[in-house]
Structure 1
Amino acid sequence: MTSTLFDLPKPVTLPVKGETEDYPIHRIFCVGRNYAAHAAEMGFEVDREAPFYFTKSPASAVLTGASVPYPPGTKNYHHEMELVIAIGKPVFRASKEAAKAAIWAYGCGLDMTRRDLQIASREKQRPWDLGKDVEQSAVLSRLTRAEEFGEIGPQRIHLEVNGAVKQDATLNELIWKLDEIVMDLSKFYHLVPGDLIMTGTPAGVGPVTAGDKITGGIDGLDPIELTITAAE
């Protein structure tokens, strides 16, 4: 057996409702501007040409209930509440039916964002990595099997900071539906079990500071909770 020079941290795995085994994370894809009101608050019109994506590394994942320090390099750290898709079977260049069948489970997620760094990169036409791929910035809940959750529709998606509602919408406001996202993304990647897709955030994103407690949820799924502690 080949040995390694050093040990890496164990990857985060997600518990699954009703299952004894966890779901391992392979990759995290994220959909940008997938609610019209959020696109508008960020200064953009809805784009129906095609979804667009960015990624977070699996190392950025953390389970709900965590306390994480305010990250370095930013003065404008934002919350973004999202529905998360968990892929359950390999799919490439998927048909509509294959895309639906590949969606194995759903969960709640937070795409925490260094907004000032994201905007600075965008204005210089540079990648968003410093703004988006932030340590402990992909906050994830326990998963629920897709057949148990049912059809996507009027389920409420919401987020609160210190008990005050900041984001409040429904899943039927998604611009790109879930099968459309999987179909499109599978044109560019061989999606496999372990791949997560964060499907975009509704309007109401905003800054948090050390000491804030973030809570959020989607009807029918386990909720999200995150506490922001002082910067290290």
Structure 2
Amino acid sequence: MRLLSFVTRSGQAGYGAQLDEHQVAHLSALLGHRYPDLKSLIGGGLDEADAVLRLAPRLSTHEIHLLPVVPNPGKIICVGLNYEAHRLETGRPVEQHPSIFTRFAASQVAAGDPIIRPTVSTKLDYEGELAVVIGRPGRYISAEQAFEHVAGYSCYNDGSVRDWQNHSHQFTPGKNFVGTGAFGPALVTRDEVADITAQTLTTRLNGQVMQQTLISDMIFSIPQIIAYVSSFTPLEAGDVIATGTPGGVGAKRDPKVWMKPGDVVEVEITQVGLLRNPIVDEQA
């Protein structure tokens, strides 16, 4: 299934399964009393969602406004420097463990919504990434069992305000400006993707390819990341892991490339989806 979080024209938050480019099965109309949001559904109701899929009312895609795939994750864990080409372009040393930082849920926007360039900086950069969404909670998860805890995948743009990111050795300020983390359009359940490592991640800015890599080029694999993260914090259903960006970021180009109002940025992952967002300036 390709699962969406959305708001209807009447202002009601819900979730559903994308049937095609025009229709969505309104799963929360049938299951919302038991699973009030997509986070709770993926934590225990995916089998029920599959069972009622044909019975769910249909909504036109024109009747809904997308939300970030999981609007209310308990945790957004981000992995830095997880592709060799990106590590090399930053000049950072080889590390024995993943570089981890966090993003706040309030910094996220949905597919189609604008990514916001803040008033305090013009150095807004793109970072196309694969997002892994946890479905089954766990602590001290072994790498061998890690995929059993994965609900599915989505596209992520870990938009970064580079000068604020580089104020110190801590990435947090530059990674948490309002409206800079794009997430969507859908959660593609794990069974829909034969081999996630065989998929290609591409980031385009105004139609020009800026980043492109195989997911298999990660330095730390998805199982390694899950094993490492679950060792220091319990993973819960709906938690999101943004698994890192490949080489080609704007900050390391010559000349540097910053996203500006009027631009359109796309993150596409084969068998997962296409995340497209315009860029606008923050309103003072």
> So what's the TM-score if we normalise by structure 1?
0.87
Q: Are the aligned partners of 1:30 and 1:199 in contact in 2 as well (CA < 8 Å)?
A: yes
- With over 3 angstroms needed to count, the CA separation of the structure-2 counterparts of 1:56 and 1:14, relative to structure 1, is farther
Q: Deviations over 1:188-220 (max 9, x none)?
A: 001000100000000111121111110120000
Number of residue equivalences = 217
Q: Are the aligned partners of 2:116 and 2:180 in contact in 1 as well (CA < 8 Å)?
A: no
- With over 3 angstroms needed to count, the CA separation of the structure-2 counterparts of 1:177 and 1:164, relative to structure 1, is same
- The share of aligned pairs that are identical, in percent, is 29
1:201 aligns with 2:245: yes
Which has the higher Rg, Structure 1 or Structure 2? 2
- With over 3 angstroms needed to count, the CA separation of the structure-2 counterparts of 1:60 and 1:101, relative to structure 1, is same
Question: C-alpha displacement at 1:120, in angstroms?
Answer: 2.4
Counterpart position of 1:217: 268
Q: Which of 90, 101, 115 matches 1:54?
A: 101
Question: What's the secondary structure of 1:144's corresponding residue?
Answer: strand
- With over 3 angstroms needed to count, the CA separation of the structure-2 counterparts of 1:34 and 1:102, relative to structure 1, is same
How far apart are the structure 1 equivalents of 2:154 and 2:264? 20
- More helix as a share of residues: 2
- With over 3 angstroms needed to count, the CA separation of the structure-2 counterparts of 1:195 and 1:77, relative to structure 1, is same
> So what's the TM-score if we normalise by structure 2?
0.72
Q: Are the aligned partners of 2:130 and 2:242 in contact in 1 as well (CA < 8 Å)?
A: yes
Question: C-alpha displacement at 1:150, in angstroms?
Answer: 2.1
How far apart are the structure 1 equivalents of 2:193 and 2:18? 11
Question: What's the secondary structure of 1:143's corresponding residue?
Answer: strand
Q: Deviations over 1:16-55 (max 9, x none)?
A: 55673534422211001000000111121332x1112100
1:114 aligns with 2:153: no
Q: Which of 77, 81, 102 matches 2:124?
A: 77
The one-letter code sitting in structure 1 at the alignment partner of 2:81 is: R
| CA root-mean-square deviation | 2.0
Gaps of 5+ in 1: 1-9
The one-letter code sitting in structure 1 at the alignment partner of 2:198 is: P
